[in-house]
Amino acid sequence: MKKIVFNILISGYLVLFILIGEIPDGLFHIYFFDIGQGDSIFITTPSNHKILIDGGPKNNVLEKLGSAIPFFDKEIDLIVLTHPHSDHLDGLLEVIKRYEVRALLITGVYFESSGYDEFIDLLIAEGVPVFIANSNTDFRFGDVLLDIVFPLVPIAGEEMKEVNNSSIVLKVLYGKTKILLTGDLEAEAEHLLIMANDQLDADILKAGHHGSKTSSSNNFIKAISPNTAVISVGKDNTFGHPSEETLNTFEKAGIKTYRTDEKGTIEFIF
C-alpha cells in the first residue's frame, strides 16, 4: 500500500494529512480480494481506470477497495456481476451506494432472489448504465481490453437450471499478458466455450467455482494452458472447496496455484 503526505500550514499550525491507498503508478494491477467464500476481483489500469468484477458476500469488499484506491477516489468505471449468486452479488449493493459507477455489465439471466431484486432496483434508482453481456461486446480502457467470451449469445430473461453456467467469462488483455476470469462456470459450459472459441489461452486463470470439482475440467485447462491459477475461496468453508481433484489437475499440468484462503488478497502487477 502506498501513501501520500500533505503538509498544510493553517493559522500557524502544521496540519498533516495522510491519504491511505494505492496512488496511480502507471502500471496494471489486478487484485483477487480475500473476501471469504466468494469472488471479488479488482483491476486498476495504467490510465487509472477501475474495474470491479463481483463483490463477494457481505460487505468485505468495501475494506478491500479502500486498501487499493485512495479514500477520496469514489469512481468505478465498470462493475461486472458474473452471475447473481449471493457470494458474488451481495457486496456490490453497498459499492453502488457509495461509489459513482459509470457502467455495469450483467447477463440479465432470470434469477429469483430478494438480493438480486434489490440489486436491480438499486441500479434503476441510481441510474447506472447497464450492458447485457455477449461475446460480441467488449470494453477497452486505454491499453487494457476486456474481451467477453461467454455467454456466447445474450441470455437476458432466460431461466437456467444451473445459474453458474450463465457466468460471464472475461479475457483481460494487457500487452502480452492474458488473464481469464471464469466466474463459477462449470464443466458443461466449459465444453461449450471450448467448442466455440479457439483462443482461450491465458497466462493466469481464475479457477471456476472456487476450485470445485464441477469446474476446471481437464480439456478446459488444456485449452487455456495457464502457468498460474488463482482460487478465490473462504478458509474452512463448508463446501470442501477447493477440491483435491481440481488441485491435482493443476499440479499435474504444472500450474502454480495461489489460494486466497492461504495467501490472503493476491495481487499481480504488470
3-state secondary structure of 185: coil
- Closest to 21 (Cα-Cα) out of 5, 39, 38: 5
pLDDT value of residue 119: 96
pTM of the model: 0.91
DSSP state of 159: B
pLDDT value of residue 23: 65
- Closest to 237 (Cα-Cα) out of 270, 218, 202, 211: 211
User: Which 3-state string (H, E, C) describes 48-74?
Assistant: CCEEEECCCCCCHHHHHHHHHCCCCCC
**Does residue 228 contact residue 202 with C-beta atoms inside 8 Å?**
no
pLDDT value of residue 24: 74
**Does residue 41 contact residue 181 with C-beta atoms inside 8 Å?**
yes
pLDDT value of residue 248: 94
Contacts of 31 (CB under 8 A, 6+ apart): 41, 42, 43, 64, 68, 265, 266, 267
Q: Which stretches of the chain drop beneath a pLDDT of 50?
A: 1-19
Q: Which three cell numbers stand for residue 126?
A: 441510481
Q: Which residue has the cell 447473481?
A: 84
Domain covering 25-269 in this structure, CATH number: 3.60.15.10
Contacts of 195 (CB under 8 A, 6+ apart): none
Q: Which three cell numbers stand for residue 207?
A: 479457477
pLDDT value of residue 236: 87
CA distance 95 to 80: 12
CA distance 152 to 144: 21
Domain boundaries, the chain: 25-269
pLDDT value of residue 121: 96
pLDDT value of residue 52: 98
**Does residue 139 contact residue 145 with C-beta atoms inside 8 Å?**
yes
pLDDT value of residue 38: 93
DSSP state of 110: B
